[in-house]
Amino acid sequence: MLKPNYKPLEITLIKRGKTRQDLREELNISGATLAKISKREYISLKTIAQICEYLKCDITEVVTFKDEI
């Protein structure tokens, strides 16, 4: 089963000098969504698109998928 991997998001945030708190405040992303990211759970594609637009990056700089057995 494929699971989302948000490690690219962490790297992109560092490169852009941003934090998860910036996402929460500037994009109005809920704490629950940020918790899902931490737990490697699925979040909506709309939210991923908002993050990509905010960070001016491609989706692969936010999330990748890894096969978990």
* Predicted local distance difference test score (pLDDT) of residue 60: 97
pLDDT number for residue 68: 80
Kindly state the percentage of the chain with pLDDT values over 90.
94
List the domains of the chain with CATH numbers: 2-67 (1.10.260.40)
Q: Where are the alpha helices (DSSP H) in 1-69?
A: 7-16, 20-27, 31-38, 45-55
pLDDT tens digits along 39-52? 999 999 999 999 99
For the full predicted model, state whether its pTM sits above 0.75: yes
Contact 20, 34 (CB under 8 A): yes
What sign does the CA torsion over 3, 36, 19, 59 have?
positive
